[in-house]
Amino acid sequence: MTDENIITVALAGQPNVGKSTLFNLLTGLNQHVGNWPGKTVERKEGTFTYNGHTYRLVDLPGTYSLTANSAEEIIARDFIIKERPDVVVVVVDAAILERSLYLVAELLPLPTPVIVALNMMDVAQQEGFRIEPEVLEAALGVKVVPMVAARNVGVRELVKTIDTVARDGYIYTPKRPEIRADHREVLAQIETLINGCVPEPYPQDWVALKLLEGDREITRMMRECLPEERWEDVHDVLRAHDDALVAVAGGRYEWIGRMIRAAVTRPKVGQIGLTERLDRWATHPFWGLLMLAGILGLTFWLTYAIGAPLQELLDTYVVGNLAELARTWLGGAPPWLSDLIVDGVIGGAGAVLTFLPILVIFFAVMGALEDVGYMARAAYVMDGFMHLMGLHGKSFLPLFLGFGCNVPAVLGTRVIESPKARLLTIMLAPLIPCTARMAVVAFLAPAFFGSAATLVSWGLILVALVVLALSGVLINKIAFRGQRAAFIMELPLYHVPNGRTIGLLVWQRSLAFLKKAGTLILVVSVVVWILSALPGGEIETSFLAQIGHLLEPVGRLMGFDWRLMVALLTGFVAKENSIATLGVLFGSTGLTAGGAGEGAGLAETLAATFPAATALAFLVVQMLFIPCVATVAVVQQETGSWRWTLFNVGFLLLVSWAAGAGVFWLARMVGL
Amino acid sequence: MSNEPEMHRAAPAPGLRKETEVIALSALHPGEQGVVAELLGGRGVLGRMTALGFTPGAEVRMLQNFGHGPLIVLLRDTRVALGRGEARKVRMLRK
């Protein structure tokens, strides 16, 4: 910002107008993804060069307006007002011109020069609109650049326009929207009252307007800045006009109507577009559900058909060979070192690596569904059902992906706009039985329950889902006092998905996972290995075993001994590790974490050691227990709060113990 | 089945309908059009609804309404899905 040669461009736009496509097109791989300071809202920034200048492009969160309804809206306007970018490019959907100009109407009162990127001109044409950009440009008094970002049309012109506007000689003369006549007087009154008291760098007339709209943030700010008496005066005026919010918004739409009257020819009513035809199926209460089920089925089929074999290949060839190589290399080193490297480090890295294929597939599917516009439809058909748990329709898809892996489920909650609904979804995601947990069930259930194993497995899934629903209701009631965000959501027009946008999304999400979860998994893996190897080198006498003994009194409530407790604990690295640990503790030979070939021997030993009631309790606890470290890592990343992460872990501990103990005593009562 | 009595009222013939009849948006049948007359509700919801285009005078066409559950309307060339509770707070003049 301080560098004279760098020109800062803010990219604004409503959701679903093709803003990310344009951002990716301009910056390519020269971008950095992070979070806005102190917020869990994604912040993307990138650079491009043109005409010898370097441009810093900051992607503002997609927002419908600039009134403080959400974190996104506050971030967007704070950036423009406080960071003072040189230019704001606002992306507008030509096919929804009226609605998407609403954000322009909010941006024009601010001092930063605005350029309107009139995107989706092709879609507008298909829908029957005829738009004349020059006429719109003349009406608004700002540069208007028609474009089709998805096909790289008009991007060069946009960059040229940015260059022109950012240059010193450019005179910015927008036709700013005026407030409706019936509120002009109050606005002037407020402005007089606050005159001279508005803190820098807020424009005074803008603050007056936001006060009239009842904007929470600005109201709070002015209450602090104004002398007590003066505030009372302002407050009285505002109270007498508490309907102004609707009037101001209505005024903006009237202004938009005047702006586009000459520039747009509308289609004849009655034309049925592709979106309407598709939506007859996609949003139907029955066919819509069927369609959703089909899409989910396809996703999981893809995961198993491509992801699982890929996972195995990675495990055998990359991780396996690496372990071999390390062992040979470290032949002369003390055995503990070679064990640490092979079991601790490479084992941990392997766990990270084998996550990747499934994650990539899920990220790609989520990205594609979002980009096509289907995500909103899935949310629509599932809303009623999710409502029962205090959740939003948009919580459904991320949660469902949790059946594959909890990590993309937590990351997928980014599609949920309401912060509360998002937090609640993150808290519940670890209760979805993922494939790794089901692998443990698949291994243990047949040994204990024989032909009833399938029934038991389904029962366990049912238990997990019932616990999830109950937890949802409970957390919602207690932590959020039963509040639920209003269900109002745009159903965007269907678009052909943009490979580049989806590809970059998959790349960024995977990279972020590797960086964050990867390191944490590695650390935890090494720590668990050290605990299991020290002090004597045998797991039976290790620190881990001592912890297991320490926890045995808790375990006894469920019929567990220390070995089962240790198995649960090692599942923290990766759920499958529980089996390997049991293998070691119950004397199967030559097992390492994640290794294959535990064989039927272990299952039989276990069945001979423990009653069925204990086995059932173990499986229940295992289903509901603290998720693996990767999930915990992303829960922390996505909530941005250690408090919520610890709450989540503590809550799951409590719930799993309670359910385990309950099941154990019930099973004993029926004589298992 | 529905807990909204207005859903069961037979639509009067267009010529007989009073121009000033104010109904909830949730009472519009699929295909019917109306003009927003008034918005009820708290600040947060109002802010989101007005930004999406629900302002007095806006024309709204009902696309999907099964008499229960959420519904879909067409408003300012946008399809907007909204919950039944939210739709009850939009008062409409039937067209």
- Which pLDDT score, from 0 to 100, does residue A590 have? 40
Within 10 Å of residue A262's Cβ, how many Cβ atoms? 12
- Which pLDDT score, from 0 to 100, does residue A420 have? 85
Q: Are B23 and B54 in contact (CB under 8 A)?
A: no
Closest-CA residue of chain A to B84: A487
- In this structure, the dihedral spanned by the alpha carbons of residues B22, B24, B25 and B29, taken in order and rounded to 10 degrees, is -90
Q: Using CA atoms, how far apart are residues A219 and A249, in angstroms rounded to an integer?
A: 18
Closest-CA residue of chain B to A104: B51
pLDDT at A408 over 90: no
Q: Any residues with CB less than 8 A from the CB of A156 and at least 6 apart, and which? A: none
pLDDT at B16 over 50: no
Question: Burial letters for A165-204: b for 16+ Cβ neighbours within 10 Å, e otherwise?
Answer: bbeeeeeeebeebebbeebeebbeebbebbeeebeeebee
pLDDT at A241 over 50: yes
Q: Are A577 and A593 in contact (CB under 8 A)?
A: yes
A217–chain B Cβ distance below 8 A for any pair: no
pLDDT bucket at A268, cuts 50 / 70 / 90: low
Beta partners for residue A119, in sequence order: A93
What pLDDT, in 10s, does the model give residues A27-43? 988 888 888 887 778 89
pLDDT bucket at B94, cuts 50 / 70 / 90: confident
Mean pLDDT across the stretch A361-380? Answer: 89
Residue reference for tokens 């240790």: A566
Instruction: Report CB contact under 8 Å: A490, B79.
Output: yes
pLDDT at A592 over 60: no
- Tabulate helix, strand, coil % of chain A (nearest 5): 65, 10, 25
Mean pLDDT across the stretch A517-529? Answer: 79
Output A328 or A418, whichever has higher pLDDT: A328
What is the number of alpha carbons within 13 Å of residue A100 lying toward its C-beta? 27
Residue A378: list chain B partners with CB under 8 A. none
- Which pLDDT score, from 0 to 100, does residue A272 have? 66
Q: A181-265: same fold as A6-166?
A: no
- Which pLDDT score, from 0 to 100, does residue B19 have? 55
Largest CA distance in chain A: 88
Instruction: Report CB contact under 8 Å: A488, B50.
Output: no
**Residue A652 token pair:** 């799951």
Mean pLDDT across the stretch A570-589? Answer: 75
- Which pLDDT score, from 0 to 100, does residue B9 have? 39
- Sketch the domain layout of chain A as residue ranges: 6-166, 181-265
Mean pLDDT across the stretch A118-144? Answer: 92
- Which fold would CATH assign to domain A181-265? Helix Hairpins (1.10.287)
pLDDT at A402 over 90: no
A489–chain B Cβ distance below 8 A for any pair: yes
Residue A283: list chain B partners with CB under 8 A. 64, 72, 81
pLDDT at A563 over 50: yes
pLDDT at A437 over 50: yes
pTM of structure? 0.82
Output A198 or A439, whichever has higher pLDDT: A198
pLDDT bucket at A580, cuts 50 / 70 / 90: confident
Out of B55, B78, B80, the one facing A246 most closely (by C-beta) is B55
- Which pLDDT score, from 0 to 100, does residue A658 have? 93
**Residue A55 token pair:** 């441009």
- Average pLDDT value for chain A: 86
Q: Any residues with CB less than 8 A from the CB of A317 and at least 6 apart, and which? A: none
Min mean pLDDT across A196-210, A497-511, A637-651, B16-30 is at: B16-30
pLDDT bucket at A2, cuts 50 / 70 / 90: very low
pLDDT at A3 over 60: no
- Which pLDDT score, from 0 to 100, does residue B10 have? 39
Mean pLDDT across the stretch A471-498? Answer: 83
Q: Are B24 and B67 in contact (CB under 8 A)?
A: no
Out of A65, A97, A486, the one facing B51 most closely (by C-beta) is A65
Q: Are A394 and A379 in contact (CB under 8 A)?
A: yes
DSSP A625: S
pLDDT bucket at A226, cuts 50 / 70 / 90: very high
What pLDDT, in 10s, does the model give residues A282-320? 999 899 999 998 998 888 788 778 887 888 888 888 888
Mean pLDDT across the stretch A480-496? Answer: 81
Query: Which residues 29-88 of chain B have a CB within 8 Å of chain A?
Result: 39, 43-53, 55-58, 63-64, 66, 69-70, 72, 75-83, 85-86
pLDDT at B25 over 80: yes
Q: Using CA atoms, how far apart are residues A81 and A73, in angstroms rounded to an integer?
A: 12
Selection from A490, A491, A493, A498 nearest residue A149 by Cα? A498
| Domain A6-166 is found in CATH 3.40.50.300 | yes
pLDDT bucket at A457, cuts 50 / 70 / 90: confident
Selection from A588, A589, A552, A557 nearest residue A568 by Cα? A552
pLDDT at A589 over 50: no
Mean pLDDT across the stretch A324-334? Answer: 83
Distance separating the N- and C-terminal Cα atoms of chain A: 70
pLDDT at B92 over 90: yes
Q: Using CA atoms, how far apart are residues A183 and A502, in angstroms rounded to an integer?
A: 46
- Which pLDDT score, from 0 to 100, does residue A649 have? 94
Instruction: Report CB contact under 8 Å: B85, A486.
Output: yes
Selection from A501, A506, A495 nearest residue A362 by Cα? A506
Instruction: Report CB contact under 8 Å: A491, B79.
Output: yes
Domains in chain B, please, with CATH? 21-94 (2.30.30.90)
Output A46 or A487, whichever has higher pLDDT: A46
Output A597 or A262, whichever has higher pLDDT: A262
Q: Using CA atoms, how far apart are residues B40 and B25, in angstroms rounded to an integer?
A: 12
Instruction: Report CB contact under 8 Å: B76, A67.
Output: no
Out of A95, A249, A285, the one facing B50 most closely (by C-beta) is A249
DSSP A153: B
Closest-CA residue of chain A to B79: A491
Mean pLDDT across the stretch A381-393? Answer: 83
Sheet holding A488-491, edge to edge: A488-491, B78-82, B71-75, B59-64, B33-39, B90-94, B22-24
> Distance between alpha carbon B52 and the CA centroid of its chain, in Å?
14
- Which pLDDT score, from 0 to 100, does residue A269 have? 60
Min mean pLDDT across A3-17, A104-118, A568-582 is at: A568-582
- Which pLDDT score, from 0 to 100, does residue A207 have? 95
* Interface with chain A: mutation pick from B36, B39, B50, highest number of A CBs within 10 Å: B50
